[in-house]
Structure 1
């Protein structure tokens, strides 16, 4: 069974390892490439915690800055692992999505006493800073990376779709789903998706797909890769 992996590197390679361990054949074809900011001009005076909403944010921070002594509040376990690997010692995982991260901040921090810095990508799915500010927190934001969509469907992806060898396509973000929808249409391959199952990390990602194009669109119950793989019978 061939499984298309559309996420950016280095995450795509890690996902491929998980797919391979479960007996399937991964096809790595990233639809987004991550570009880090040349400089990160973010003051840390009075900042009590850094907020990370993806492993890319952690990697982008370490590409331009060396500070890892502040607490890192992370949206999920994958981001928390990236923070620990990067050298942060005070790491907390919200274990879910943006709403869970907001709830974690409310549970662990005090509005008016703690100032936060959200280190994010150029295309944020939600307004975490605004939500926390509405709850009384002081929040700064710094855009430190951008996920840039490819302009042509990767040849590996086009080949397995055209030859009807693809069984499953994984989408780890709304932007990857949107990019795929546009690129597969440009390549005139939309009609070849009717035997393929799309598996997305969230409803937001699923909304980037045209559901009628697919044999089925399955959404992870929790926003993590293990649950995504579980949607297609991979239980590890």
Structure 2
């Protein structure tokens, strides 16, 4: 029996995204004929203390699939309209049992506009990360719409082994899905003489890497993973 084929390091793509989303990203990267290397820089943990603050009858808002999943584990509430930032978050909401799902156009500002345009009366509850990428509740409040943010999960830095990190750092391309992941990634890349290309889900994900000399640094016009993977395909 011949030994299993070794991954082609020249086609490796380091996926820094937290699970469970990283597995889906890996499948989509593999479909491009590339070698996904999953080594999350962050992991998510629920915040059980938030459960008592998740009541109400107004619209719900989610800006990440992780927010949907954490909310669903902490609360039985599934009624009313649910405003979501994009298709991945919409898919998570459907899987969690929500029926009235109203997607935005891919970012917090577009989601705020959608809520202001057609959300029914009531306080908007934004179930989010402890450190959200954008201030949806603040944007709504500034426009006169009652809203509050409740942190339902937190993202904490992982501790990969030296061997895992060395293998990941040898990949020619890295995907950064969040600004915080971008900050952690910048710390790992800073000491290196030879660095990979980095694709971010948005410019904010790449901002922490601005001072580094990289062979390529790019983000799509819309913060959608499908658009980021189109950029990845164009690098081949």
With over 3 angstroms needed to count, the CA separation of the structure-2 counterparts of 1:153 and 1:205, relative to structure 1, is farther
Instruction: Deviation per CA, 1:171-190: give whole Å up to 9, x if none.
Output: 111111111112344xx4x2
Alpha-carbon separation, structure 2, partners of 1:155 and 1:226: 30
Q: Which runs of 4+ in 1 moved over 6 A?
A: none
Out of 81, 96, 103, the residue aligned to residue 71 of structure 1 is 81
Out of 155, 159, 163, the residue aligned to residue 167 of structure 2 is 159
Match of 1:140 in 2: 148
Match of 1:24 in 2: 34
Q: Given the two structures, how large is their TM-score scaled by the length of structure 2?
A: 0.89
With over 3 angstroms needed to count, the CA separation of the structure-2 counterparts of 1:50 and 1:133, relative to structure 1, is same
Contact 1:178 1:208 in 2 (8 A): yes
Instruction: Deviation per CA, 1:136-177: give whole Å up to 9, x if none.
Output: 11112211100111255764342242xx4x121001111111
Give the secondary-structure state (helix, strand or coil) at the position aligned to 1:133: helix
With 2-11 and 145-154 compared, the bigger mean Cα shift is at: 145-154
Match of 2:52 in 1: 41
Matched, 1:209 2:218: no
Matched, 1:82 2:87: no
Give the secondary-structure state (helix, strand or coil) at the position aligned to 1:232: helix
Match of 1:104 in 2: 114
Alpha-carbon separation, structure 2, partners of 1:33 and 1:146: 8
Q: Given the two structures, how large is their TM-score scaled by the length of structure 1?
A: 0.89
Give the secondary-structure state (helix, strand or coil) at the position aligned to 2:194: helix
Alpha-carbon separation, structure 2, partners of 1:106 and 1:223: 21
Match of 1:182 in 2: 187
Give the secondary-structure state (helix, strand or coil) at the position aligned to 2:116: helix
Structure 2 residue ranges without an equivalent (≥5): 1-10
